[in-house]
Amino acid sequence: MKLRPYQEQAVESVYTHLRSHDDNPCVVIPTGGGKTPVIATICRDAVQKWNGRVLILAHVKELLEQAADKLRAIAPDLPVGIYSAGLGRRDLGYAVTVAGIQSVYRRACDLGPVDLVIVDEAHLIPPDGEGMYRQFLSDALVINPNLRVIGLTATPFRMKTGTICAADHILNTVCYEIGVRELIVQGYLSPLRTKAGARKADTGALHTRAGEFVASEVEDLMNDDGLVDGACAEIIEHTPDRNAVLIFASGIRHGRHIIEVLKSRHGVECGFVCGDTPSGVRKAILGRFLSGDLKYLANVNVLTTGFDAPHIDCVVLVRPTLSPGLYYQMVGRGFRMSPGKDDCLVLDFGGNVLRHGPVDAVQVTATDHGEGEAPAKECPQCRALIAAGYQTCPECGHAFPEPDRGKHEALASTEGILSGQKTREQHAVSEMTFHIHHKRDDPTGQAPPTMRVEYRCGFNTYFREWVCFEHTGYARRKAEAWWRDRSHEPVPETVEEAVEWAEAGALAETTAITVEHKTGERFDRIVDHELGDKPPQLDDPDAVPEYRFEPVGTTCGIPEDDIPF
């Protein structure tokens, strides 16, 4: 198996860290980005190059099976044992042992000395206390004080308590990280689309415990007949051309309610797995889903990690969560690429996208419980979940009312489901005005002024650009080109002269502008103009009206804080 370039970089980063540091590194690769090949390569090198012994720890048997399969594919001659009660194996004495933490956390002595411990889904290691990982590693260090630990995860933070890397934690430093958006751009992960449900539960009355909604209250809220009926109807409406639909329910009663409504009202079979599902039954249901025989599958808290089904092209969130990590893990089930899969549709009935924002920019601290301004908004016409800064929905063209500019520009985040996404919208221009602009936060008072051009589009929507006649270099050359595209008059030397000539009619009319919005950036950017004919040269240039200075902050009621010039 040939590693992808970023996987090779991850492996090399681990080796560099182990050589140059005494602590334990962590690798961050998004769900679906291929952590297991990285694990397998490190195991192969540790055994074949350095004659070491490796233990791979995970918390679910599906992860153990995946790790063992990838190891056999990359290094078929590598001796691999499995120690897992769930898989019915207790192999000892192998160069590489893949083990379930539940099976070995009290059996470090049975496994013998280990040189390297690799932890998959490392965000599940508890930060303190007598957790299973800590107990095992404490005993393993007694046997081999030189033991090193490597963690791999898609989310380098715990669901409730913040970062997994710290000086007093098992893992100390992130040595390599690559993001969701990078892998989508490179073609390794599936693009995402999002829609909110037409009917949404009001989570305002829910109580929280340890940073998450109280589970019983969530299930009671989401299990409402109207909400379930509406969600099921929308699931069917949006998925006729989807191949595999994974549904995250709020509880066992809720999950069974969903599959019953899908069957009785829509004639659709939906599988269901939860923690109480017998192992054999669960394996059969997952097998049917993976083979394509079963299109719809609902689950409760069992398929958030370690479930590899690349053909999933719709993820349904019928549960609200305050946990950004859980939100990421649920959406991440649709990240993987698969033949015939163009994108993954995320149907959100729990307000999670609005609550947490883009999956590639999820941030969490020890006190982060989803408070603050929502980093996304819902289109009232098509229910697409989009960046909070969009003025027109990129999905259906719906025009949003003009927000309070001061408040809008103060938002800390305006991300969509993925940060960095761009959208371009064309706007007809109804009025142009020209102003001298002096940079407000200039402590030296030496910054040259610029000509601020304001375009009124529609009733009360304004866009602005700045033309830098008194700057030097590229900014001046750009201003010259801007002027020549619009006028037969010579290019002004000063901003005051430019405004005077513009108000005298020296410039061609701008009939439309194209505005680019990039999520994560504060300002929209005008990237194209539709211009009328250049006006003839003025007969009496001395007759241009004297410029009437307009005080900063009074133009069209739009504040001028944080202007880029």
Phi, psi of 288 (to 5 degrees): -65, -40
pLDDT at 480: 93
Mean pLDDT score, 23-46? 91
Where residue 59 falls among pLDDT bands split at 50, 70, 90?
confident
CA–CA separation, 267 vs 79, rounded Å?
Answer: 49
Mean pLDDT across the stretch 402-412? 36
Q: What is the pLDDT of residue 441?
A: 64
**pLDDT value for 88:** 85
pLDDT tier at 391, thresholds 50, 70, 90? low
Residues in Cβ contact with 319 at an 8 Å cutoff, skipping those fewer than 6 apart: 218, 222, 248, 249, 250, 254, 350
Which of these, 34, 58, 26, lies nearest to 149 by C-alpha position?
A: 26
Q: For 171-218, write each residue's pLDDT tens digit.
A: 999 999 998 888 988 999 998 888 777 767 778 888 888 778 889 999
Per-residue pLDDT band at 368 (split at 50, 70, 90): very low
pLDDT single digits (tens) 444-479: 667 889 999 999 887 667 788 989 999 888 888 899
**For position 543, what pLDDT does the model report?**
47
Most confident of 121-125, 427-431, 547-551: 427-431
- Kindly provide the b/e burial profile for residues 468-496, where b requires at least 16 CB atoms within 10 angstroms of the residue's own CB: bbbbeeebbeebeebbeebbebebbeebb
Min mean pLDDT across 113-127, 253-267, 370-384 is at 370-384
pLDDT digits (tens, 9 = 90+) for 305-346: 767 899 999 999 999 998 888 888 899 899 999 998 999 999
Q: Where are the alpha helices (DSSP H) in 199-349?
A: 215-222, 225-238, 252-266, 279-291, 324-331
In degrees, rounded to 5, the angle at the alpha carbon of residue 192 between the alpha carbons of residues 187 and 197 is 170
SS3 561: coil
Q: Are strands 314-317 and 344-348 parallel, antiparallel or unpaired?
A: parallel
Burial of 462 (0-12, 13-18, 19+ CB in 10 A): middle
Residue 211 structure tokens: 């940073």
For residue 560, what pLDDT band results from cuts at 50, 70 and 90?
Answer: very low
Predicted confidence band of residue 425 (pLDDT cuts 50, 70, 90): confident
Residue 267 has pLDDT above 80, yes or no: yes
Q: Is the pLDDT of residue 366 over 60?
A: no
Number of Cβ within 10 Å of residue 369's Cβ equals 17
How many Cα atoms sit within 13 Å of 469 on the Cβ side? 21
d(CA 133, CA 103): 11
Per-residue tokens: 143: 């046997």
Please provide the DSSP assignment of 75-109 as one string. -TTS-EEEEETTTTEE--S-SEEEEEHHHHTT-HH
Cα distances (angstroms) measured from residue 564 to each of 30, 413, 447, 482, 502: 34, 18, 12, 18, 22
Name the pLDDT band for 154 (thresholds 50, 70, 90): confident
Q: Strand runs (DSSP E) across 257-391, as ranges?
A: 270-273, 296-299, 314-317, 344-348, 376-378, 385-387
User: Is pLDDT larger for residue 503 or for residue 562?
Assistant: 503
The tokens describing 4, both together, are: 């992808």
Q: Is the dihedral of CA 551, 552, 556, 559 positive or negative?
A: negative
pLDDT bracket for residue 24 (50, 70, 90): very high
Burial class (CB in 10 A: 0-12, 13-18, 19+), 120: buried
Of residues 404 and 232, more confidence is placed in 232
**565 pLDDT above the threshold of 50:** no
Residue 421's pLDDT is 61
Average confidence (pLDDT) over 69-88: 84
Domains of the chain: 5-178 (3.40.50.300), 190-373 (3.40.50.300), 425-557 (no CATH)
pLDDT greater than 90 at residue 18: yes
Average pLDDT for residues 411-439, to the nearest whole number?
69
Give the confidence band of 357 by pLDDT, cuts at 50, 70, 90.
Answer: confident
Which is more confidently placed, 532 or 403? Answer: 532
Cα(429)–Cα(431) distance, rounded to whole angstroms?
6
Local structure of residue 66 (DSSP, 8 states):
H
At residue 36, φ and ψ (nearest 5 deg) are -65, -40
CA distances from 392 to 423, 425, 517 (A): 10, 7, 10
**What are φ and ψ of residue 100, in 5° steps?**
-85, 130
Chain mean pLDDT for the chain: 81
Q: Is 132 a residue whose pLDDT tops 70?
A: yes
Give the span between the Cα atoms of 98 and 497, in whole angstroms.
Answer: 75
Q: How many C-alpha atoms does 483 have within 13 Å on its Cβ side?
A: 24
Cα-only R_g, the chain: 29
Greatest mean pLDDT among 73-82, 84-93, 144-153: 144-153
* Cα–Cα dist 545/235, whole Å: 63
Confidence band, pLDDT 50/70/90 cuts, at residue 547: very low
For position 548, what pLDDT does the model report?
Answer: 37
> pLDDT confidence of 406, banded at 50, 70, 90?
very low
Q: pLDDT above 70 covers what percent of the chain?
A: 79
